[in-house]
C-alpha cells in the first residue's frame, strides 16, 4: 500500500480532527534485544525500468496508462528508478542501520509473459541476484514477496488470472519455484502474497486498483471478490507445499503471507449490535484469509452464513491440505495503519455487500473522532487500536507476528519546503506511539512480535482515487 502520496488536485488532503497533542507522549518503551528493524517496498512502486532488460507488462503497467487516467496521469514507468540505482539505494539502507529489507519481485521480470510454458528472462533474474548480493554484502537480510499486485498482463488476458483457480495456481507455483531455485540459497524469508484482501476487493469489487473490475465496468462484484480470494488462498497453499516439500530442508528458510487490516471499535460500545458488527468486520477482513491459512479451517461462520452461495466452497481435499500446511506458515505478516469504528447497518445488506453489512468510519455515535488525522482521511493515529489488533491476531492464530508495513503521511506535506518536510515530527510521533504499542503488546499482553518494517523506504509511486468512502484505504 502506498501512503506517501495522496493528492487532490495540487494539494494534499487535510482532514480536521483531534490534535496529535491529545495523545500520550512517546515513551520509547523497551523492545526485545532480538527485535528486527527494516523497511518495505513494492516492485511496481519503486523499480521503474518498466521496459528495460526484457521485462514484460503487468496489469499495473496497463492500469496506470488507461485513458482517461485512473491514477491522476501518473505511472510507475520510472518511479524511484530503483532498477538503475540499486547500488546507491542499498548503501542508503545501510546508512540507516537497516537490518531487513522487504521487497517484492516483479513476476514479469522473471517470466515476461508469466505462464508456466513461457520463457524465463535471465536479465531479470540477474537484477534480483545483484540486489540480494548487494543487501547481504551490507549485512541486510532480504525478505522477498513473490506477489505485490502486479500480475502479468498476459496471464490476465489468457484466462482472467485469479478468476481461473487451476490455471493461476499452476502458473504462480511455477514462478515461485523459479524464485526458490534461483534465490533461495540466500533468501531465508518468503512471502507469497501481499494483502490478498486488497487484490480481491479493490481489484475486483470497487475497481479502484488493477485490474479495475467493478459493477460499473460490467463485472460481477457480487461473486468475483470471493472467487479471487479463494484462488489466492489455494495458490498460497500450493506454493507453501512446494517450498516445504522441495526447498526448505536444503535452504533452511521459512514462508508465509502478509495480511492487511484495520482494527475495529464498535460505533456504539453500549450496543451488542455494534459490538458484534466490529467483530464481524474483523472476520470479513482478516479471518477471510487468516482462518484457512493459519488455522487450516473453513471460512468464518459469519461469512458463510451471510454470503451463502456467493462464497466458494473448499473441497475435502483442499481443507485437508490447508490443515496440513497451517503449521508451516512461520509468521503472520501484519500490514496495519489505522483503526475505525464499525456500525451495523440497518436493513438488509446490498446485493454485492463485502463488509458483512457494516459501515466503517472515523466518528462514533457521539461524534467523537477515533484519532488525529494524517495526510489521508482514512488514516487516523490510533496506537491503542494497533495494540488491540496484535492481541486479536495472536489470540486467534498464535503465530509470531512481524509488522511488515506501518507508517503514515504527514498533513500538508506537499506544501512544505524540503527542509520542513524533512523535519517530520508528525511521522516521528506516529511511529513512536505505534512502537510503544508493540512494546505494550509484547510485555503486557504476551504477544510475540518479531520485528517492524516501516512503509516505505522511499517516497514511491502512488495513486489517488477520489473516493470518500472511509471503508476504502485509498492508494497503491
Q: How far is 74 from 461, CA to CA, in rounded Å?
A: 8
Q: Which of 357, 226, 350 is nearest to 280 (CA)?
A: 357
What's the CA gap between 211 and 63, in Å, rounded? Answer: 6
- Among all chains, which residue has been given the C-alpha cell 509484547? 442
Quote the CA–CA distance of 376 and 408 in Å, as a whole number.
8
Q: Which of 152, 133, 144, 49 is nearest to 104 (CA)?
A: 144
Which of 141, 195, 359, 360 is the catalytic position? Answer: 195
Q: Which residues contact 471 (CB under 8 A, 6 or more apart)?
A: 340, 355, 359, 360, 361
Asked whether 433 and 452 are in contact (CB, 8 A), the reply is no
Residue 229's alpha-carbon distances to 6, 389, 462, 467, 471, in angstroms, are 27, 22, 24, 23, 19
Hey, what's the cell of 280? 464481524
Neighbours of 422 (CB within 10 A): 8
3-class DSSP assignment, residue 431: helix
Alpha-carbon 197 to chain mean position? 8
Q: Which of 318, 166, 319, 174 is nearest to 246 (CA)?
A: 174
Instruction: Give the Cα separation of 429 and 120 in Å (integer).
Output: 46
Which of 47, 283, 405, 413 is flagged as catalytic?
A: 405
Question: Is 405 an active-site residue?
Answer: yes
Q: What amino acid positions are annotated as catalytic residues?
A: 195, 405
Amino acid at each position: 500500500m502506498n501512503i506517501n502520496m495522496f493528492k487532490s488536485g495540487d494539494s494534499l488532503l487535510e482532514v480536521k480532527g483531534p490534535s496529535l497533542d491529545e495523545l500520550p507522549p512517546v515513551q520509547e518503551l523497551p523492545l526485545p534485544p532480538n527485535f528486527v528493524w527494516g523497511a518495505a517496498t513494492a516492485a511496481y512502486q519503486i523499480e521503474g525500468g518498466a521496459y528495460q532488460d526484457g521485462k514484460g507488462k503487468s496489469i499495473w503497467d496497463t492500469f496506470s496508462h488507461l485513458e482517461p487516467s485512473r491514477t491522476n496521469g501518473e505511472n510507475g514507468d520510472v518511479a524511484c528508478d530503483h532498477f538503475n540505482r540499486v547500488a546507491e539505494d542499498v548503501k542508503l539502507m545501510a546508512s540507516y542501520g537497516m537490518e531487513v529489507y522487504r521487497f517484492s519481485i516483479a513476476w514479469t521480470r522473471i517470466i515476461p509473459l508469466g505462464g508456466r510454458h513461457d520463457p524465463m528472462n535471465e536479465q531479470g533474474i540477474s537484477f534480483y541476484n545483484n540486489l540480494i548480493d548487494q543487501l547481504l554484502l551490507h549485512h541486510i537480510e532480504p525478505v522477498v514477496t513473490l506477489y505485490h499486485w502486479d500480475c502479468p498482463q498476459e496471464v490476465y488476458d489468457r484466462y482472467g488470472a485469479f478468476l481461473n483457480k487451476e490455471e493461476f495456481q499452476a502458473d504462480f507455483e511455477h514462478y515461485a519455484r523459479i524464485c526458490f531455485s534461483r534465490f533461495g540459497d540466500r533468501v531465508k524469508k518468503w512471502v507469497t502474497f501481499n494483502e490478498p484482501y486488497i487484490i480481491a476487493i479493490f481489484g475486483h469489487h470497487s475497481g479502484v486498483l488493477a485490474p479495475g473490475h467493478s459493477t460499473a465496468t460490467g463485472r460481477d462484484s457480487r461473486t468475483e471478490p470471493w472467487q479471487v480470494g479463494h484462488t489466492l488462498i489455494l495458490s498460497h497453499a500450493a506454493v507453501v507445499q512446494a517450498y516445504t516439500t522441495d526447498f526448505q530442508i536444503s535452504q533452511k528458510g521459512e514462508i508465509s503471507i502478509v495480511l492487511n487490516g484495520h482494527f475495529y471499535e464498535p460505533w456504539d460500545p453500549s450496543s451488542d449490535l455494534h459490538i458484534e458488527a466490529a467483530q464481524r468486520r474483523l472476520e470479513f477482513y482478516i479471518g477471510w484469509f487468516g482462518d484457512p491459512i493459519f488455522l487450516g479451517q473453513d471460512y468464518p461462520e459469519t461469512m458463510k452464513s451471510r454470503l451463502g452461495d456467493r462464497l466458494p466452497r473448499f473441497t475435502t481435499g483442499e481443507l485437508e491440505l490447508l490443515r496440513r500446511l497451517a503449521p508451516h506458515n512461520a509468521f503472520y505478516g501484519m500490514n496495519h495503519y489505522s483503526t475505525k469504528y464499525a456500525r451495523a447497518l440497518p436493513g438488509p445488506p446490498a446485493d454485492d455487500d463485502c463488509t458483512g453489512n457494516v459501515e466503517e468510519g472515523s466518528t462514533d455515535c457521539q461524534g467523537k473522532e477515533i484519532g488525529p488525522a494524517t495526510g489521508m482521511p482514512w488514516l487516523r493515529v490510533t496506537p491503542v487500536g494497533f495494540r488491540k489488533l496484535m492481541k486479536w491476531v495472536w489470540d486467534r492464530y498464535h503465530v509470531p507476528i512481524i509488522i511488515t508495513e506501518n507508517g503514515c503521511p504527514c498533513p500538508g506535506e506537499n506544501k512544505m519546503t524540503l527542509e520542513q518536510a524533512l523535519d517530520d515530527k508528525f511521522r516521528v510521533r506516529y511511529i513512536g506511539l505505534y512502537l510503544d504499542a508493540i512494546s505494550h503488546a509484547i510485555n503486557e499482553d504476551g504477544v510475540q512480535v518479531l520485528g517492524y518494517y516501516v512503509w516505505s523506504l522511499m517516497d514511491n509511486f502512488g495513486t489517488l482515487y477520489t473516493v470518500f468512502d472511509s471503508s476504502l484505504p485509498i492508494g497503491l
